[in-house]
Amino acid sequence: MQFPQETLDLAGRIAGEIRAKVGDDPERLAQGVYSHLNGRFSYGFKEGLVQGKFIRWPHEIQKEWECIEAAAYTYVLADALGLQPRMMRVSSWMGLPTGHETVDVVVGGRRRLVDPLNSMYGDVRYFKDQIRVIDNPVTKQCVMPCSKVEEVSKDTVIARIDYYRSDEGILNLLKGGQSLQNGEVIKVFFRYDMRKNMLELQVRTISPFVSVSSYFSWQIYYNGKKPVRRIMEEGAFTRHRWSQLEDKSPISRIVIGQKDGEEQVIFETLQPNKVASYYLALHHIYGVLLNKKRPNNTISGSYENIKERIKSATKSQQREVLVALGNELNEASQFIFDDREFILEKLGERIRGMKKKGISPKDKARYNDLRSAYIDFVRMDQQLPFLTQRFLDFAALEYHIRDIAKRRNVQSIDVCDSLMEHSGISWEDVLKTAENGISRMMEEKNGIPLDIIATLDTLIGRLHDRGLLH
């Protein structure tokens, strides 16, 4: 079996460019493959979904790729350079119950890993619970936890991509769940639950430097291929691992269904557990303290102003509008803490401390993750200063709360309770804020990509017509 001719042509052209740049030495050619592909595309499934191809051949990839696409791209380019590539597959990856494909090549009689998706490169050894490369200046990580490493043939790779482009293969991808957007702050994930006949699209908002984040999910339940029930749910969580949210804590939800042929809407405010309580209290206290410090602030009016000015701007003007508005709000000093930058400074100190102490191969991935987060945040601060300063202001509040809790030997939620009592805030106030929040989200869809829901809805109808769903 062969890759499509368009893919072979693409690989041949890039291989020629690499040879012209670095010569014929296998050492430099292998690094040339890695350097050409590392950071070239972002991780995501949305582009393939929108294209209707789902898993693509290398020549169809534009801005995003996922595991098998990245491995196929690396394989075909290394093959065009005569580096004798092998495709390796693992059963679980980075502690996640999902497979991953990677590629190694021959350099000087040794196998060398070339994995641009994981920023991992170097002479490789395979163990039953991890893949390890010898530390070198190029690789950003040296250890990849995994299980059951095995070589798969080129024919198997081609057949697998063909399968994932079929309806049966697409169904498997839906069941495993896929990432549609993997930004630093906003992450969008979707999955299909065969047992419940339910499609879930989940928007996760990761709060930088804060221990609790929020999610908003849109769940659609089907009877056959007809949507019969929708649930919009808001909640909090601490960490995320692929399709799973750790300490997932629903706060409120809206259930939309049919009763006697008419649409029925039920709003539910749920009893928050400790994680949800802490998340709600933290946000409510922040708003109260901001109003106390800046009683004449114009923040709500500014947000309305932002909406109107963005709405009237063209797509190319929107970033400029946001930056201009951010600068206006910065000048208005709509923040609680004047020393909020110390949160970012502490991260910088931690990174410098790790480097000074010496970075072991085991810790290299962690060091580079922290360094990348720091650089990304500084870059974002230059583009959208108001947004990042708000993040730091909010993070400073949690830092002080956790510091007080540590000194008192209590939990952070206990400090929140004391602050609420001191400020005259009741839990009824907090839950009312949550109720208003989810009502607003229902109206605005909270960034849920409705075009993606429509695409998935059409796909599920097709899978049902083919008898793949019941």
Could you tell me how many residues make up the chain?
470
Mapping DSSP onto H, E and C, the string for 294-311 reads: CCCCCHHHHHHHHHHHHH
Q: What is the pLDDT of residues 138-179, one digit of tens each?
A: 999 999 888 888 999 999 999 999 998 888 888 888 887 888
Which range (78-82, 258-262, 278-282, 342-346) has the least confidence? 258-262
Q: Please report which helix (H) or strand (E) contains residue 237, including its range.
A: strand 226-237
**Residue-level pLDDT at 300:** 45
Q: Which residue has the higher pLDDT, 15 or 288?
A: 15
**Lookup result for tokens 């933290």:** 282
Rounded (10°) CA dihedral 242, 457, 215, 391 = 90
Any long-range contacts for 30-36 (C-beta under 8 Å, 24+ apart)?
A: 30/78, 30/83, 30/105, 30/107, 30/112, 30/114, 31/121, 31/138, 32/81, 33/74, 33/77, 33/78, 33/81, 33/83, 33/105, 33/114, 34/114, 34/116, 34/121, 34/138, 35/138, 36/77
Strand partners, 188: 181, 203
**For residue 51, which of 204, 170, 191, 185 has the smallest C-alpha distance?**
170
- CATH number 3.10.620 given to 5-164: yes
Q: For the residues 419-425, what does the mean pLDDT come to?
A: 77
**Residue-level pLDDT at 304:** 56
d(CA 64, CA 46): 8
301 band by pLDDT with thresholds 50, 70 and 90: very low
Q: What is the pLDDT of residues 348-391, one digit of tens each?
A: 999 999 888 888 888 898 898 888 888 888 888 877 777 788 88
**Residue-level pLDDT at 70:** 94
Q: Please report which helix (H) or strand (E) contains residue 245, including its range.
A: strand 244-246
**pLDDT at residue 109 greater than cutoff 70:** yes
**Residue-level pLDDT at 297:** 56
Amino acid 41 reads F
Which range (135-149, 193-207, 453-467) has the least confidence? 453-467
Helix ranges, 195-317 (H): 274-293, 299-312
**Distance between terminal CA atoms of the chain?**
34
Write down the mean pLDDT value for the chain: 84
| Beta carbons of 146 and 124 less than 8 angstroms apart | no
Q: For the residues 439-460, what does the mean pLDDT come to?
A: 69
296 band by pLDDT with thresholds 50, 70 and 90: low
**Residue-level pLDDT at 36:** 96
**Residue-level pLDDT at 225:** 75
**Residue-level pLDDT at 443:** 60
**Residue-level pLDDT at 425:** 75
**Residue-level pLDDT at 135:** 93
